[in-house]
Chains A and B, each alone.
Chain A
Amino acid sequence: MPQAFEQRTEVEQLRARVTELERELAERTRRATAAVAHAEDRLYWLDRWQIDLNRVMETRAGQTVFQAAKLLRRTTRLAGRARRSITR
């Protein structure tokens, strides 16, 4: 009788563990699918125009545009910093 009780308890514990693991899996699935959906929403226009940005950036033209953008950003920052130091 005590052995049967112990077995039942063990089964219940195992079931509870399965339920907990299933709940964790469900949560992970929810987060993963939400992340994919979010990424799809962000990529909409690239997807719509069938632009592979990675491939574009591997080209010389892509790299030139990228370097120019970096230079422009740095120049803007320096100019802003200079303006702030003058007007301080």
Chain B
Amino acid sequence: MSERVTAVVPVKDGARFLGEVLGALRREGVDEILVVDSGSRDGSPEVARAAGATVLEIAAADFGHGRTRNLAAERATGDVIAFLTQDATPAPGWLAALREALALDGDVGAVFGPHLPRPDTSPMIARELTEFFAGFGAPDGAPRVFGAGDPTFLSNVNAAYRRACWEEIRFPDVAYSEDQAFGRALAASPRWRKAYHPRAAVLHAHDFGPVEFMRRYFDEYRGLRETIEHVEPFGARAALRDVRGLVAADRRYMAERGVSGLDRTRWTGRAIVHHTGRKAFSALGSRADRLPAGVQRALSLERRAGVTAQRPSLVHHAAHPGPSQFDVPARALRSGPAPLLDSYPGMADRERLHIAFAIPTFNIGSGGHNIIFQLVLRLERMGHTCSLWVHDLFGHRPGIGAATLRREIVEHFAPVEAPVFREFDEWFGADVVVATAWQTVYPAIGLDQVRARAYLVNDHEPEFYATSVESEWAERTYGLGLYGIAGSPWLRDLYVDRYGGQAGTFQYGVDQHVYFPRPVERRRDTVVAYARAVTPRRAVSVAILALAELRRRRPDVRIVLFGDREPPFTPFDFEHAGVAGHEELAWLFSESTVGLCLSMTNYSLMPQEMLACGLPCVDLDRPSTRSVFGADGPVALADLDPAAIADELERLLGDEDEWARRSRLGLGFVSGHTWDAAAVQVERELRNALRVREAAPA
């Protein structure tokens, strides 16, 4: 039993040919005729009903070439849905040819046929159609099934679709060329193929006036741009050459069909206008997105502005992975930690350990790295072997070699003996691997040949970021089972209480060979403030407001800012020390009256270095600073409030007894805070990490 065929004809003011089209469909024997009328005023629905078609009426505003055909296909009852335009009259044998093409193969999902010229069609269009469709057929005139690499052309002037194929692909909701988009999707489909049958023909083409033709081409090529991104090339010389060739072809076509000389001359003039106009308007249509909406409407036969103006301009880029290594955390989170080496009794108490530090890449002057390298230096002096493994997650310093990094460490931080490795390709194991920042935890947990893993936690790093991959991945590192060695009691409590880890603590040291009261007269009017504005946790904006308030209260106060190459914008005048070295800072701290250094997360080294030079300072009253300095210790603590900070600064500037008390407390505080003492604490915690491993069940 043959498949039921529904013919769908979208109509708007199509009465001129509609009766002829529907009559031909009846003659061909289609099972169902569905006419979709979108607001005709010429009686088209009545013509359709009189011809026995089912009429579906929709508002003109609801019409869309893809949308309306999908709607009709949903209403159709046939297994095959044939789409025709209101002026495409099936030629005798049309339906039989469609059925024959569909029967060629079960995977033929769509069939199309040629458009034949009507008697009034201009020679230009008639020739073009004849030549165009001649290219689709098989050489022997038989139907042809298309395969990979064949043209994707499909035209809903005259095409039929197997319902299953249409259901799978459907027409996109585009203003134009929904059939071309379908053709492309069908060509990409692994299941469906397309066929062409030269006898499944319709009489379609008819003549328009030259201007009408040009505006049609504008619409057509704008539609091709919108759907398949076709851009018609245009060049004056090439256009002239093409027009000459096309006109010559038209003249040959007319000669072959015996068109009289006078008519041939008349049509030649028309052909020149036609082809020139086509060249210009197709190029314009392709580039309609560059035209104002009013111009587009004026050039368009449909009187509409295109949607191309809103389409994103997409540029293809070849794959280029770049220097960042964001795949490392993703991989580590997926595969989990590598197994540790077996533990054995007494491994925590061995005299000499090999400690591998996984560190993020660095710049000279990094405070966090200074802490690491000072500890490495002391651990080496205690007899341990250290190695440094630099991980560059963000690709900040591509191309910098290990030898260069080692020289930077030795010259600008501490004269360590440890070799430096870039990334972990040459990994050869260690007693303990120590991650030193969130991004180094992920490669560290993937390292094997290790007895224990530890995590030198210098700050609560998720707070460095707004909600992001970085903040989330930073936070997850605390739950990955590394033994924490925290830079303050506050950090240790976070690690243990919030994240359920095991951790000990150590206190930062001060290089007291550099930071001590220098022989310089102490000024009574100078506030020295850390103002590295690019580090948000340093609350520089509030520090500047506090200093402005202080200057308002005490116009004679001298303000010195440091910590950044660029001086910040301030409502007061100041002196700028830029990124000062340790030696310069020691002198600056020794001559100043009060220091101001704010930290919104863990406390920093800077207040200790100020205290070591006898300089009382002001920091924020946060759990971290409170846990280290105490509520009324060497550092005056203030809320994150410019006035409160200014109060503390003013008190230390004006109250000599309070200044002397804080200065004395500060010198006493830092006397016990050496890097040697810090390294002893860190060594103790490294051994604790190994002890935890020893105690853990095998």
Which residues of A are interface residues toward B (Cβ below 8 A)? 15, 18-19, 22-23, 26, 29-30, 32-34, 36-37, 40-41, 43-44, 46-48, 50
Beta-carbon contact of A50 and B344 below 8 Å: no
User: Chain B residues with Cβ under 8 A from A46's Cβ?
Assistant: 403
B399 within 8 A of A: yes
The smallest beta-carbon distance between B378 and chain A, in angstroms, is 16
Beta-carbon contact of B350 and A48 below 8 Å: no
Specify the main secondary structure of chain A where it touches its partner: helix
The smallest beta-carbon distance between B502 and chain A, in angstroms, is 24
The docked-state distance in angstroms from the alpha carbon of A34 to that of B406 is 12
The docked-state distance in angstroms from the alpha carbon of A46 to that of B419 is 17
Interface size of B in residues (CB-CB distance below 8 Å): 24
Choose one: B350, B402, B420; the contact of A26 (CB below 8 Å): B350
User: Chain B residues with Cβ under 8 A from A33's Cβ?
Assistant: 354, 385-387, 417-419
B346 within 8 A of A: yes
Listed by A's residue number, 28 A-B pairs whose Cβ atoms lie within 8 Å are A15-B345, A18-B344, A19-B346, A23-B351, A26-B353, A26-B354, A26-B385, A29-B385, A30-B352, A30-B385, A33-B354, A33-B387, A33-B417, A33-B418, A34-B419, A37-B417, A37-B419, A40-B402, A40-B407, A41-B403, A41-B406, A44-B404, A44-B407, A47-B401, A47-B404, A48-B404, A50-B399, A50-B401
Closest to B344 in A: A18
Beta-carbon contact of A40 and B420 below 8 Å: yes
The docked-state distance in angstroms from the alpha carbon of A30 to that of B402 is 18
The smallest beta-carbon distance between A59 and chain B, in angstroms, is 21
The docked-state distance in angstroms from the alpha carbon of A22 to that of B353 is 9
User: Chain B residues with Cβ under 8 A from A32's Cβ?
Assistant: 428
The smallest beta-carbon distance between B428 and chain A, in angstroms, is 8
Give the top 4 A-B pairs by smallest Cβ distance, nearest first. A47-B403, A36-B419, A47-B401, A37-B419
Closest to B426 in A: A36
Choose one: B399, B401, B404, B417; the contact of A34 (CB below 8 Å): B417
User: Chain B residues with Cβ under 8 A from A23's Cβ?
Assistant: 350-352
Choose one: B352, B386, B403, B419; the contact of A48 (CB below 8 Å): B403
Tell me the residues in window 367-422 of chain B with beta carbons closer than 8 Å to chain A beta carbons.
Answer: 385-387, 399, 401-404, 406-407, 417-420
A26, A41, A48 — most chain B CB neighbours (10 Å): A26
A18, A19, A36, A40 — most chain B CB neighbours (10 Å): A40
User: Chain B residues with Cβ under 8 A from A47's Cβ?
Assistant: 401-404
The smallest beta-carbon distance between B341 and chain A, in angstroms, is 12
The docked-state distance in angstroms from the alpha carbon of A15 to that of B347 is 11
Beta-carbon contact of A26 and B346 below 8 Å: no
Closest to B354 in A: A29
The docked-state distance in angstroms from the alpha carbon of A30 to that of B403 is 18
The docked-state distance in angstroms from the alpha carbon of A33 to that of B355 is 11
User: Chain A residues with Cβ under 8 A from B404's Cβ?
Assistant: 44, 47-48
Closest to A27 in B: B352
Known contacts A15-B345, A26-B352, A48-B401, A40 near B385 by CB under 8 Å? no
What 0/1 pattern do residues 333 to 365 of B give for CB contact below 8 A with A? 000000000001111001111100000000000
Closest to B349 in A: A19
Closest to B350 in A: A22
User: Chain B residues with Cβ under 8 A from A15's Cβ?
Assistant: 345-346
User: Chain B residues with Cβ under 8 A from A29's Cβ?
Assistant: 354, 385
Given A26-B351, A33-B354, A33-B386, list of 18 further CB < 8 A pairs?
A: A19-B346, A26-B352, A26-B353, A26-B385, A30-B385, A33-B387, A33-B419, A34-B417, A37-B420, A40-B403, A40-B407, A40-B419, A41-B406, A44-B404, A46-B403, A47-B402, A47-B403, A48-B401
The docked-state distance in angstroms from the alpha carbon of A44 to that of B695 is 44
User: Chain B residues with Cβ under 8 A from A37's Cβ?
Assistant: 406, 417-420
The smallest beta-carbon distance between A3 and chain B, in angstroms, is 22
Beta-carbon contact of A43 and B403 below 8 Å: yes
The docked-state distance in angstroms from the alpha carbon of A22 to that of B420 is 23
User: Chain A residues with Cβ under 8 A from B406's Cβ?
Assistant: 37, 40-41, 44
The smallest beta-carbon distance between A38 and chain B, in angstroms, is 8
The smallest beta-carbon distance between A36 and chain B, in angstroms, is 4
The docked-state distance in angstroms from the alpha carbon of A68 to that of B401 is 31
Tell me the residues in window 240-290 of chain B with beta carbons closer than 8 Å to chain A beta carbons.
Answer: none
User: Chain A residues with Cβ under 8 A from B417's Cβ?
Assistant: 33-34, 37
The smallest beta-carbon distance between B229 and chain A, in angstroms, is 43
The docked-state distance in angstroms from the alpha carbon of A43 to that of B403 is 7
The smallest beta-carbon distance between A14 and chain B, in angstroms, is 10
The docked-state distance in angstroms from the alpha carbon of A30 to that of B386 is 8
The docked-state distance in angstroms from the alpha carbon of A37 to that of B401 is 13
The docked-state distance in angstroms from the alpha carbon of A23 to that of B351 is 8
Tell me the residues in window 577-592 of chain B with beta carbons closer than 8 Å to chain A beta carbons.
Answer: none
The docked-state distance in angstroms from the alpha carbon of A29 to that of B404 is 22
B345, B347, B350 — most chain A CB neighbours (10 Å): B350
User: Chain A residues with Cβ under 8 A from B345's Cβ?
Assistant: 15
The smallest beta-carbon distance between A75 and chain B, in angstroms, is 34
The docked-state distance in angstroms from the alpha carbon of A55 to that of B403 is 18
The smallest beta-carbon distance between A49 and chain B, in angstroms, is 9
The smallest beta-carbon distance between B315 and chain A, in angstroms, is 32
User: Chain A residues with Cβ under 8 A from B419's Cβ?
Assistant: 33-34, 36-37, 40
Closest to B401 in A: A47
The docked-state distance in angstroms from the alpha carbon of A34 to that of B350 is 20
Choose one: A19, A41, A50; the contact of B407 (CB below 8 Å): A41
Beta-carbon contact of A44 and B403 below 8 Å: yes
User: Chain A residues with Cβ under 8 A from B407's Cβ?
Assistant: 40-41, 44, 48
The smallest beta-carbon distance between A32 and chain B, in angstroms, is 8
